[in-house]
Structures are given as C-alpha cells and as structure tokens.
A and B are shown apart, each in its own frame.
Chain A
Amino acid sequence: MSEYAISVASNMGMIAFVALSAYVILVVGEISFGQQAYFGIGAYMSGAATAMWGWPFGLALAVGSLSAAAAAFAIGALTIRLRGLYFAISTLCFAEMLRLWLNSVHVRVEVDGEMVGPDGAEGFGDIRWIFENDVTPLEFMFIIYGLLGAVLAFLLLVERSRLGAALRMVGQDPLLARSQGIDASACKLLAVMFAGLIAGLGGGLYAHFATYIEPNVFNVMLGVHGLAYGLIGGLGTALGPIIGVVLDIGFLEGIRAIQGYRMIVFGGLVAILLIVMPRGILDETRVYRIKRWMRRT
C-alpha cells in the first residue's frame, strides 16, 4: 500500500468512529451535532496520557475513551429531557463551548527537557508515541481497524440483543416504548454515554496518528460529517455508517476528477438520499428484508 492509501484508509477508519458515535444516538431517535467534542476529549486526554504522563498506549486510549464517556454522561444527564431540535442544539452548544475553551487551556509540563501539553490555540504537539515505539503507519492502520472492528462487532451484537431492540423502540416512539415497560431515559442515557465512548476511542487514535492536535480540528464539520455518514449509509444497522464513510472518503476522495468539488458532490448526495431514502441506504426495512432473505437461503 502506498503511503497515501494508508493515510486515506487510516482517516476513513478514524472518522468511522465519529460516524458510529453519531449513529448510536440516531438509533435512539435523537440527532447530535456535537460528537466531535467527545472525539476531542478522547484525543486530548489520551494524548496527554502518553506525551505528558508517559502512560502506555492502551491505558491512554482507555483513559481517553472513558473520559469522553464520562463527559457524555454528564452532558447527557443534563440534556436527556430535551427532544428533537432542542437536543441537537444543546449538543452543538456543548461541543462549541469545549472547542473554544480548549483554545485557552495551557497545561505545559517538561518531559525530557522539552515542554509538552495543550497550548491553547497553538495546539498540542509532540504526541510522539508512534515515533518512540517505531510504529509504522501500516501497523497503526491495523490498530485502527482492529479497534474499529471490535466496536462494530460489539454494536452488531447489541443490535441483536434485547437491549438493542429496546433502543430501537425508544428511537421509534419513546412513549410507546415506555408503555412496553422500557425505561426510555435510561436507554437514551446509555446510548449517549456509549456514543461518547466510541468517539473518545477514535479521538485517542487520531491524536497518536496525527501527533499534533488543535481545538479547531474538532469543529462542527467533523460532527456533521459523522452524522451524514449514518444518514447516507442507513440507520438500520451499524454497517450503515461505515458504508457512508466508504462512499464519501473512499469513493469521492478517490475520484481525482471531482477534486475540489468533493463537498459539492457530497452535499448533493446527502440531499438526494434524504429525499429518496430518508433513513439511508440500509434502513430498517431493507435490513429486515435482507435478514429474511438470508434466512431463507
């Protein structure tokens, strides 16, 4: 694989975490424009863990994703009563607050004679774990896809379970779900928290892949893309958002002919799909038909 291909593939893998994160919230019937915040928290926390505190990589990823999950839980507990637009706006507000706040966070420590740590708008550089441990881009790509595969497998398992059914019911009609004896608020909170965890994990990977992060990386466009991938690929299965990612980055970015027009084509694609297939390519009905067809054959 060429270096370019590896980098595109790695980027695809990492943004897939944001897409899956946004998807989990879409499943319970809400829209979040703020999943980039948890990606950011994961990136900053796990970056700090390896670069500033010298923790091992695995522990750093765990710290990053757990902090993101904790933040998501705290914000979720505050906003869970909001619905629709109000919930969406609140997620966006929190993400923007965090991004602007990160611009003024300066926590610098001396490691091996050099100052490292978040330096406000200057960013947070020298997250040198992959250099110090001689991890090649190809190896790191495998780490990304290994973890992505694990998250995806877990989501697919949950979707087959009783919990998964409950989450979908809450997404379709919270009130009707409650009258079946489902604790809709708990389901939503769980989804929000798990979405934070997934985004945080992706963020931790991103910090070590890029070795340099700055608050503006985690702007609203990142979250909007993540959201759009789910809406394009379909909300019927966790594979949907992955299809969205592959379509956008793998396909559109791959076609050099439309270079520079990618966002126009992408926007148009989203608009067309929302009209023709409002819940994406692999929506619930299509997933159900495919499952039935597979059982027959």
Chain B
Amino acid sequence: MLEVRDLVTAYGTIEALKGVTLSAKQGEITCILGPNGAGKTTLMYSIACILKPVSGSVKVNDTEITGTSAPHALRCGIALVPENRLVFHSMSVEENLMAGAYTRLSSDRAGVQADIDNAYARFPSLKDRRAQIAGTLSGGEQQMLAVARAMMSRPKILMMDEPSLGLAPLIVAEIFSIIRQLNDEGVSIVLVEQNAHKALQIANRFYLLDQGRVTFSGTPGEIGEDDFIQRAYLGSKVA
C-alpha cells in the first residue's frame, strides 16, 4: 500500500531522515515510535509531500508520489493530521470540515454534504457545535474535528501525528477507539506516537525511528523479546 524506500530529507545541511525504509500494509495500523528529534514528523511531512525529500521514494499502491505536491498526495489517498496544529481557529466547525474536502469542494457538492453528515453521525458532539468557532472547542473536540476533517478527503491512508498529545487519558482512549473503528472500516492508519503503550495495543506493525533511521521493526508481539526496546520505551517490567 504505502512503500517508503531510502528516504532522505534535510533541513539545509542537517539530515533529519537518513534513509528511512518502511511499508504500511493495506488495512493495517502501522505505528512509528521514537524519541523527540527522531524525525517522525519530518517523515510524515515527507510522505504527504509537504516537505521535499533529497532522495528516496514514496509509493502509494505502486504509484510514485515523491516530489509531487501536497494536493497530489491527497488525491492519491494520503491524509495527514499534523501534530499540534489541529484546526483552523477562526473558522467554524463546519467550515473546517469543508476545508478537508477542499480539492472537490466545487465539483462534488452533494458528496461533500453527504460526507459532512457522515462526520456528524460519527462525532455527534461536533454536530451540536457545527456553527461554533473551532478555536473555542476543547482540545479533545479539536482532535476529533481534525480527524473528521482528514476523513473528509476520503483517504485510503490516514496519517496521524501524535493524536494523544496533551489530551486527558479518557479522551486519548476515545481517540484510540476511533482510530480502531476507522481501521475496521478499511482505512489504513499510520500512527506516530510517543504513548508507546497505547499505540502498541492497537498496532499491527511498528517501526522504531531514532536519529533519522529505522532501528527496529516488527509486530507488537516481538517487542517483549527485545530487552532494550522494552526498557527504553515501555519502562522496565520488573520494578
């Protein structure tokens, strides 16, 4: 589904990604773990064609999208919920949803309206607040809105950059159940998380990113066998 090969992305002379290779399979939840500064967000931006990689390739269903534009990546079915910049603050909830369908806003009005209704069915609290300015929503609601907006582009792959950041545990649980639900409906998920425990509970496959390189990959079942990862990311089991 999503194939990333030897991806190198640099800010000036600093290489944030030093050749990342990973793949996300159809219908799976792929999780990317790693400490701050590992290059997780850079990887997300590079896949979504917001940053231009120096070299390497990103393929979606065997179609090369490297070096194309963000609108093109979106058309190929990649939607990104960026970290920490969730909604357009001075726009209403409904306008935010419409922003997610920006590329087909004028060509497919009926479809957009149907998708808005779907989003409200999925997130009833957003429906109550449809006319509210998005900046006045709570953090959790903003995250819901961000997910709903990303779904408006009818993505095949939904990439989420730290959706649990700064949210209360109950809200985090809700977000994760929504991610699982979307996945059950057939959307492939690429999830960047610092909350390793939570992420590994729902992930089919995970990659460990450190200083711009993939240092480990496997299934969550394999992680217990690796002492180092256990200690570094999940804390010691034996206190």
Contact = CB atoms under 8 A, between A and B. Distances in A.
Given A176-B82, A288-B133, A292-B131, A169 B92 contact: no
A253 interface: no
B233 to A, nearest CB: 27
A285 B132 CA distance: 10
Given A162-B106, A179-B82, A180-B102, A172 B88 contact: yes
Contacts of B98: 165
Contacts of B92: 288
B102 A284 contact: no
A236 B92 CA distance: 13
Given A175-B50, A292-B131, A181 B103 contact: yes
A27 B75 CA distance: 27
Interface string B103-145: 1011000000000000000000000000101000000000000
A179 B91 CA distance: 16
B85 A175 contact: yes
B99 interface: yes
Given A165-B95, A181-B70, A183-B71, A173 B106 contact: no
A228 interface: no
A166 B48 CA distance: 18
A172 B92 CA distance: 13
B12 to A, nearest CB: 13
A182 B75 CA distance: 12
Chain B contact-residue range equals 20 to 34
B80 interface: yes
A179 B70 contact: yes
Interface in B175-208: none
Contacts of A83: none
B219 to A, nearest CB: 29
A166 B106 CA distance: 13
A168 interface: yes
Contacts of A165: 95, 98-99, 102, 105
B163 to A, nearest CB: 14
B196 to A, nearest CB: 25
Given A162-B102, A178-B50, A292-B131, A285 B74 contact: no
Interface string A166-210: 101100110111111111000000000000000000000000000
Given A168-B88, A169-B102, 9 more contacts: A162-B102, A175-B82, A176-B82, A177-B99, A179-B50, A179-B79, A183-B70, A236-B90, A285-B90
Closest 3 CB pairs of A and B: A284-B90, A181-B74, A181-B71
20 contacts: A162-B106, A165-B95, A166-B102, A169-B91, A169-B102, A173-B85, A175-B50, A175-B82, A175-B85, A179-B80, A179-B81, A180-B74, A180-B99, A180-B102, A180-B103, A181-B153, A182-B70, A284-B90, A284-B91, A288-B133
